[in-house]
């Protein structure tokens, strides 16, 4: 039996990309999912697929899933998400902080509203998720928080200063959580490189968008990250996978 089976997992940003791929893969291993995102129509479609084994034809144990429309920048909504998960399943084993934005631009474009967006979603959204589940996990004396950072959390790229700052912050938060775990809470930071998702569609600066569209021609499938997340979750309780960096083989940076 997979160690993922019957784990209660919250996934933010679950309506597409890494979140959707992860939901499908964990469902195939029998996880109990609470899916969160802003787009209810996409969440409904994904939940409808879960009883069929998460969309995998060879899945042996289909998971179960429900959803709650959630904007991670609203702390009250994130708290309600955790409470509904606890009410539905009786516990929370894993939180996957996946929701994120990447509206890249050079600093001299002064796109302050986009900077604010990235700080709100990429940093505060992660913190709100942790704040919502950590007391529950402490009471259980077990839990696992998985944060999605980026290779941009390891290296600063031109035109990406604010985005990189948010992803460096996610790494710092993940490490702080590990240091304060008291042997109860597992902390995993996952840093993807170029992955085929909707992330680059949030770039409004035309020159940066053109450059990133060319760069992302090497992007790999989102399931590559889903497999890494599953690997971290399925380790025995005394094993804490803290950091994984995943790039396309052809990605240099």
Domain for residue 59, yes or no?
A: yes
- What does the pLDDT read at residue 199? 84
| pLDDT tens sequence across 59-92 | 445 689 999 999 999 999 999 999 999 999 999 9
Domain for residue 1, yes or no?
A: no
- What does the pLDDT read at residue 62? 66
Domain for residue 251, yes or no?
A: no
Break the chain down into helix, strand, coil percent, rounded to 5: 50, 15, 35
Domain for residue 66, yes or no?
A: yes
Q: Answer for the pair 216, 202: CB distance below 8 angstroms, yes or no.
A: no
| Longest CA span, the chain | 54
Tally of structural domains, the chain: 1
Which residues of the chain, if any, have pLDDT below 50?
53-60
Domain for residue 253, yes or no?
A: no
For this structure, is 163 an active site residue? Answer: yes
Domain for residue 2, yes or no?
A: no
- What does the pLDDT read at residue 63? 83
- What does the pLDDT read at residue 59? 45
Domain for residue 3, yes or no?
A: no
Which structural domain range is residue 62 located in?
8-246
Domain for residue 87, yes or no?
A: yes
- What does the pLDDT read at residue 97? 98
- What does the pLDDT read at residue 57? 39
The CATH code of the domain that includes 167 is: 3.40.50.720
Annotated active-site residue in 67, 89, 128, 163: 163
Indicate the pTM of the whole model.
Answer: 0.94
């Amino acid at each position: 039996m997979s160690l993922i089976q019957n784990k209660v997992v919250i996934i933010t940003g679950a309506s597409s990309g890494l979140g959707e791929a992860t939901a499908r893969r964990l469902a195939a291993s029998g996880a109990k999912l609470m899916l969160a995102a802003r787009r209810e129509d996409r969440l409904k479609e994904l939940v409808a697929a879960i009883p069929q084994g998460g969309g995998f034809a060879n899945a042996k144990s289909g998971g179960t899933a429900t959803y709650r429309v959630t904007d991670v920048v609203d702390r009250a909504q994130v708290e309600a998400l955790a409470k509904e998960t606890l009410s539905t399943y009786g516990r929370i084993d894993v939180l996957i902080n996946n929701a994120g934005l990447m509206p890249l631009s050079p600093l001299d474009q002064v796109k302050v509203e986009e900077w604010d967006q990235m700080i709100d979603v990429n940093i505060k959204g992660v913190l709100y998720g942790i704040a919502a589940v950590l007391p529950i996990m402490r009471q259980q004396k077990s839990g696992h928080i998985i944060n999605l950072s980026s290779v941009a959390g390891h290296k600063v790229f031109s035109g990406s200063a604010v985005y990189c700052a948010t992803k460096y912050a996610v790494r710092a938060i993940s490490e702080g959580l590990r240091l304060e775990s008291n042997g109860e809470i597992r902390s995993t930071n996952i840093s993807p490189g170029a992955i085929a998702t909707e992330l680059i569609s949030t770039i409004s600066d035309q020159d940066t968008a053109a450059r990133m569209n060319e760069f992302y021609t090497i992007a790999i499938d989102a399931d590559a990250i889903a497999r890494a997340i599953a690997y971290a979750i399925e380790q025995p309780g005394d094993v804490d996978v803290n950091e994984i960096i995943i790039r396309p083989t052809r990605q240099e940076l």
